[in-house]
DNA sequence: TGCATCTTCTTAGTATACTAAGATAATGCT
DNA sequence: AGCATTATCTTAGTATACTAAGAAGATGCA
């Protein structure tokens, strides 16, 4: 048996039916691996994707603001953006109104990539939710969000 | 403003309402960060936790079998187990029936930790699902599992 | 204007987990 | 018994993302 069969893997997943944390880990990892497989050929890695995606929505924002929107640390953002800049996907400019800030802009190339890569999200999303009704997907999002909110509050209160 | 307020962070989360992948990332990260905060004082890191947890269910299994059950790569398992061994949480012994295998056993210390640390899972789980009915939690697990299964199939078919 | 303050960004070090490639050692067929 | 095969485990290198600490530079009050 060269690799584990699909039935084997499914059995492994069921072993965690009692843990939402593990299920979330599997969902997250499956999503990003599948997406990376589809975006790699365009020179976009798993780590760059969230930044690109957010910048397609709005660019010309500061690194700190970008970190906030992606719920990332400033250090993580700084390292990732260095990579994106080296790939020619972004360029940075000092904010004239507050020259402490560096504003991040997409290059024309990165902007054009949106047309190619945004459908990828929809593809992955469609594959992931195959067999689920729109109502079920909506319910899932709602439940996930309530969990995120619960845990954020927990973390918040344990800090104070 | 020293750190972003809770309202700020909630706003950031909502920016991803359309992406199950991001919600899963947030859920996974929130879970493991909160759990790590609670287990660190017992010398158990986020990376060691899954192995310990699986071994509490059953130890005396090979490293490869452990990898399979946790959906981890063998290399990842090998590195993590080296750490667990150094911490005195596991020891390894050659399988007599097939001496190519190394079987992994919990130490008495690690076994005793279960009593202290298993309640932590339940605590985190309870915090995460606060305000959700048992039916909603069950429905959430079912939906997440269907997504994992969908993505596993996708990955499987794209490999062949 | 000058200096303290504040924001923003970067560097350094660490943890987790991946892939690829190879070492090791037992198994089992001829 | 010998040797090819196989399973298992390890090493090396890379990617992602964290925390802590600090540099750099702009702001704004005295």
Q: Answer yes or no: are the C-beta atoms of A71 and B9 closer than 8 Å.
A: yes
CATH number for position A70: 1.10.10.10
Best mutation target among B6, B28, B57, B124 (most A Cβ atoms within 10 Å) is B28
pLDDT score for A7: 42
Residue A53 lies inside a defined structural domain of this protein? yes
In this structure, the answer to whether residues A119 and A139 fall within a common structural domain is no
The answer to whether position B36 is within a domain reads yes
CB-CB under 8 Å, B146 with A20? no
CA–CA distance, A125 with B20 (Å, rounded to integer): 7
Asked if A113 and A69 sit in the same domain, the reply is yes
The pLDDT score that the predictor gives to residue B17 is 45
Pairing between β-strand A102-106 and β-strand B61-62 as defined by DSSP bridges: unpaired
The CA–CA distances, whole Å, from B86 to A57, B78, B79, B90, B91 equal: 47, 12, 11, 8, 9
DSSP 8-state symbol, B42: G
Find and give the residue nearest to C7, measured CA to C1'. Answer: A100
Decide if A144 and B24 are in contact by the 8 Å CB cutoff. yes
Cα(B150)–Cα(A123) distance, integer angstroms: 13
Q: Are residues A121 and A137 in the same domain?
A: no
Interface test with A, best of B11, B12, B23 (most A CBs within 10 A): B23
Residue B68 CA to nucleotide C5 C1', Å? 54
Same domain, B37 and B81: yes
Residues B99 and B145 in one domain: no
User: Based on the domain organization, do B87 and B154 belong to the same domain?
Assistant: no
Query: Does residue B107 surpass a pLDDT of 80?
Result: yes
For residue A1, is it within any domain?
no
Token pair 């590195």: residue: B79
Tell me: the pLDDT tens digits for B75-103? 999 999 999 999 999 999 988 888 888 99
- Asked whether residue B11 is assigned to any structural domain, the reply reads no
Q: Which domain holds residue A137?
A: 133-160
Q: Write the CB contacts of A71 (distance below 8 Å, at least 6 apart in sequence).
A: B9, B12, B13, B26
pLDDT at B12: 43
Q: Which helix (H) or strand (E) holds A104?
A: strand A102-106
Residues B104 and B91 in one domain: yes
Residues 40-79 of B with CB under 7 A from strand C: 45-48, 50, 71-76, 79
Answer whether any strand C atom is within 7 A of the Cβ of B30.
Answer: no
pLDDT-derived band at B154 (thresholds 50, 70, 90) equals confident
User: In terms of domains, do A91 and A144 share one?
Assistant: no
Task: Give the total number of structural domains in chain A.
Answer: 2
Asked if the Cβ of residue B122 lies within 7 A of any atom of strand C, the reply is no
Task: Report how far residue B68's alpha carbon sits from residue B71's, in angstroms, rounded to the nearest whole number.
Answer: 5
Q: What 3-state DSSP class applies to B88?
A: coil
pLDDT given for residue B3 in this prediction: 34
- Asked if strand D comes closer than 7 Å to A86 Cβ, the answer is no
Å from A97 (CA) to C18 (C1')?
43
Q: How far is A65 from chain B (nearest CA, A)?
A: 10
Is B142 among the domain residues?
yes
- pLDDT category, B14, cuts 50, 70, 90? very low
**Looking at the structure, do residues A138 and A113 belong to the same domain, yes or no?**
no
Same domain (yes/no): B109, B38: yes
Dig out the tokens for B53 from the structure. 């947890």
C-alpha span between A14 and A75 (Å, rounded):
37
Same domain, B48 and B87: yes
- Tell me, yes or no, whether B8 lies in a domain: no
Please tell me whether any atom of strand C lies within 7 Å of the Cβ of A64.
Answer: yes
User: Can you list the residues of chain A whose pLDDT is less than 50?
Assistant: 1-17, 160
For residues B15 and A72, the answer to whether their CB atoms sit within 8 Å is no
Residue among A89, A96, A108 at smallest CA distance from A62 = A96
Percent of chain B scoring above 90 in pLDDT: 52
Provide the pLDDT for residue A12: 43
B120 CA to chain A: closest CA distance, Å?
12
| Domain membership flag for residue A142 | yes
Contact B145, A127 (CB under 8 A): no
Angle at B139 between CA A153 and CA A149, to 5 degrees: 10
Long-range contacts formed by B144-148: CB under 8 A, 24+ apart: B144/A20, B144/A23, B144/A24, B144/A26, B144/A27, B144/A140, B145/A13, B145/A14, B145/A17, B145/A23, B146/A131, B146/A132, B147/A27, B147/A30, B147/A128, B147/A129, B147/A132, B147/A140, B147/B20, B148/A13, B148/A23, B148/A26, B148/A27, B148/A30
pLDDT in tens, B127-145: 999 999 999 999 999 999 9
Q: In chain C, which nucleotides are within 7 Å of a protein Cβ?
A: 6-13, 15-21, 24-27
Do B23 and B90 sit in the same domain of this protein? yes
In-domain check, residue B4: no
The predicted pLDDT at position A154 comes to: 75
Dihedral angle of Cα A20, A151, A146, B114, to the nearest 10 degrees: 30
Which residues contact residue B91 at a Cβ distance below 8 angstroms, ignoring those fewer than 6 apart? Answer: B85, B105, B107
In angstroms, the CA A103 to CA A126 distance is: 34
- Predicted confidence (pLDDT) per residue in A115-135, tens digit: 999 888 888 999 999 999 999
Neighboring chain A residues of B129 at a CB cutoff of 8 Å: 20, 147, 150
């Amino acid at each position: 048996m060269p690799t584990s069969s699909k039935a084997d893997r499914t059995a492994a997943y069921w072993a965690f039916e009692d843990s939402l944390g593990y299920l979330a880990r599997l969902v997250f990892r499956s999503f990003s691996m599948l997406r990376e497989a589809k975006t790699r050929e365009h020179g976009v890695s798993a780590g760059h994707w969230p930044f690109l995606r957010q910048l397609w929505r709005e660019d010309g924002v500061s690194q700190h603001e970008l970190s906030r929107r992606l719920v990332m640390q400033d250090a993580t953002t700084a390292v990732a953006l260095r990579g994106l800049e080296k790939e020619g996907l972004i360029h940075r400019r000092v904010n004239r109104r507050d020259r402490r800030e560096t504003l991040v802009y997409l290059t024309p190339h990165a902007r054009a990539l949106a047309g190619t890569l945004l459908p990828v999200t929809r593809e992955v999303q469609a594959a992931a939710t195959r067999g689920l009704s729109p109502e079920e997907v909506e319910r899932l999002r709602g439940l996930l969000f309530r969990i995120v909110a619960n845990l954020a509050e927990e973390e918040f209160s344990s800090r104070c």
